[in-house]
């Protein structure tokens, strides 16, 4: 099966599943391309009401960028080319005029947390962990995640998650307001469908109108411009010895 599975059900839910368990559902260029194609399809398809993004298996939602591929990026310009590609995709996810859900089936790390942040709602298996760990790699969020997080959480809560670069439990995430609902670990898709029922009972037009009200605000506060300044900053740090040594250490300790 492919690196990403896309399924549609009769309720109007589009399920996008990152299907790379062997790499804890890490995102490479092929995964990025399928993300973009799916987001564009959902935007255009009137029968698609809600997009749910999740991961295969129960170990990881998404472990962020595929370090086995991206460790070959050395210069600021090389890094910026990759980072901005995913930054565009996450901006399109953030501003998709339909409800979006990150269903945290497992651990969300680094860019995986940025994908989750781009979604309207974050629902989690109560046993998962998540962490904006980029700081431990000597970089900052490289896909626009910090700028998006400042739109979703109060300043102090967002800064705690970003600056500590720690992994947090789903319960801590719920208390911080990053996670909206905790599910027991069994049948999380069914629990997700039940959570979405009141949203799915509205027309696509109603759902789009409310999402567009938020999108208009994000455009007024120059969210896209801020995301790309953030991405540029990450690309500068990407060149640092601290970053390259941290990634090398991860890959060599396998
Ligand atoms: C690209 C930039 C982007 C951004 O912010 O802009 C980022 O995402 S930067 C952050 C990149 N991600 C990470 O640093 C996370 C690295 N992975 C981990 O910390 C752990 O793997 C974790 C916590 C996700 C899961 O831990 P667990 O013990 O369950 O698994 P293992 O560590 O043993 O990993 C199993 C297997 O998967 C490979 N793996 C895991 N994550 C990645 C990854 N991000 N890229 C590539 N490969 C990954 C790991 O190497 C193991 O492979 P194996 O061949 O079995 O040794």
**Protein residue closest via CA to atom 49 of ligand 1:** 23
Distance (Å) from CA 207 to ligand 1 centroid: 35
pLDDT by residue (tens digit) across 83-120?
999 999 999 999 999 999 999 999 999 999 999 999 99
Q: Is-contact 56 6, C-beta < 8 A?
A: no
Kindly report the average pLDDT of the chain as a whole number.
97
Mutate which of 59, 63, 90, 228 for ligand 1? The one with the most ligand atoms within 8 Å of its CB, which is: 63
Q: Model confidence at 254, in pLDDT bands (50, 70, 90)?
A: low
* Sheet of strand 100-104, all strands in order from the earlier edge strand to the far edge: 4-8, 13-18, 50-55, 100-104, 121-125, 181-183
Q: Model confidence at 253, in pLDDT bands (50, 70, 90)?
A: confident
Distance (Å) from CA 68 to ligand 1 centroid: 9
What is the longest distance spanned by two Cα atoms in the chain? 52
**Protein residue closest via CA to atom 56 of ligand 1:** 254
pLDDT by residue (tens digit) across 149-177?
999 999 999 999 999 999 999 999 999 99
Q: Which atom of ligand 1 is nearest to the CA of 70?
A: 1
3-state secondary structure the chain: CCCEEEEECCCCEEEEEECCHHHCCCECHHHHHHHHHHHHHHHHCCCCCEEEEEECCCCEEECCECHHHHCCCCCHHHHHHHHHHHHHHHHHHHCCCCCEEEEECCEEECHHHHHHHHCCEEEEECCCEEECHHHHHCCCCCCCHHHHHHHHCCHHHHHHHHHHCCCEEHHHHHHHCCCCEEECCCCHHHHHHHHHHHHHCCCHHHHHHHHHHHHHHHHHCCHHHHHHHHHHHHHHHHCCHHHHHHHHHHHHCC
Q: Which atom of ligand 1 is nearest to the CA of 141?
A: 5
Q: Model confidence at 250, in pLDDT bands (50, 70, 90)?
A: confident
Burial of 105 (0-12, 13-18, 19+ CB in 10 A): buried
Which domains are delineated in the chain? Answer: 4-200 (3.90.226.10)
Token reading at 48: 């698609």
Burial of 161 (0-12, 13-18, 19+ CB in 10 A): buried
**Protein residue closest via CA to atom 48 of ligand 1:** 23
In this structure, how many other beta carbons lie within 10 angstroms of the beta carbon of residue 98? 20
Q: Model confidence at 251, in pLDDT bands (50, 70, 90)?
A: confident
**Protein residue closest via CA to atom 18 of ligand 1:** 63
Distance (Å) from CA 81 to ligand 1 centroid: 21
Distance (Å) from CA 64 to ligand 1 centroid: 7
46 lines ligand 1 (CB under 6 A): no
141 lines ligand 1 (CB under 6 A): yes
**Protein residue closest via CA to atom 25 of ligand 1:** 24
143 lines ligand 1 (CB under 6 A): yes
Q: Is-contact 85 250, C-beta < 8 A?
A: no
Q: Which atom of ligand 1 is nearest to the CA of 143?
A: 6
pTM of the model: 0.98
The complex's ipTM?
0.97
Span 7-27, average pLDDT: 97
pLDDT by residue (tens digit) across 38-76?
999 999 999 999 999 999 999 999 999 999 999 999 999
Span 211-238, average pLDDT: 98
25 lines ligand 1 (CB under 6 A): no
The pLDDT of residue 156? 98
Token reading at 105: 């089936």
Integer Cα distance of 47 and 91 in angstroms? 22
131 lines ligand 1 (CB under 6 A): no
CB-based contacts of 246: which residues, under 8 Å, 6+ apart? 136, 137, 138
CA torsion angle 100 175 56 198 (round to 10): -40
Distance (Å) from CA 24 to ligand 1 centroid: 6
């Amino acid at each position: 099966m492919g690196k990403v599975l896309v399924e549609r059900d009769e309720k109007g839910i589009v399920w996008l599943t990152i299907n790379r368990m062997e790499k804890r559902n890490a995102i490479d260029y092929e995964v990025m391309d399928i993300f973009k194609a799916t987001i564009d399809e959902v935007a255009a398809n009137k029968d698609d009401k809600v997009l749910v993004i999740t991961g295969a298996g129960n170990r990881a939602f998404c472990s962020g960028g595929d370090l086995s591929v991206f460790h070959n990026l050395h210069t600021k310009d090389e890094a910026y080319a990759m980072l901005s590609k995913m930054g565009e995709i996450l901006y399109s996810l953030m501003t998709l005029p339909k409800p979006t859900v990150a269903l945290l089936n497992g651990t969300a790390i680094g860019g995986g947390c940025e994908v989750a942040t781009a979604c309207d709602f974050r629902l989690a298996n109560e046993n998962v962990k998540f962490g904006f760990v980029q700081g431990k790699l000597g970089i900052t969020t490289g896909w626009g995640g910090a700028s998006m997080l400042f739109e979703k959480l109060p300043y102090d809560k967002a800064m705690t998650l970003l600056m500590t670069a720690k992994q947090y439990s789903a319960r801590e995430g719920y208390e911080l307001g990053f996670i909206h609902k905790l599910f027991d670990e069994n049948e999380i898709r069914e629990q997700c469908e039940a959570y979405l029922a009141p949203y799915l009972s509205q027309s696509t037009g109603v759902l789009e109108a409310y999402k567009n009200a938020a999108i208009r605000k994000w455009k007024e506060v120059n969210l896209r411009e801020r995301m790309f300044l953030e991405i540029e900053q990450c690309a500068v740090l990407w060149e640092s010895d601290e970053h390259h040594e941290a990634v090398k250490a991860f890959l060599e300790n396998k």
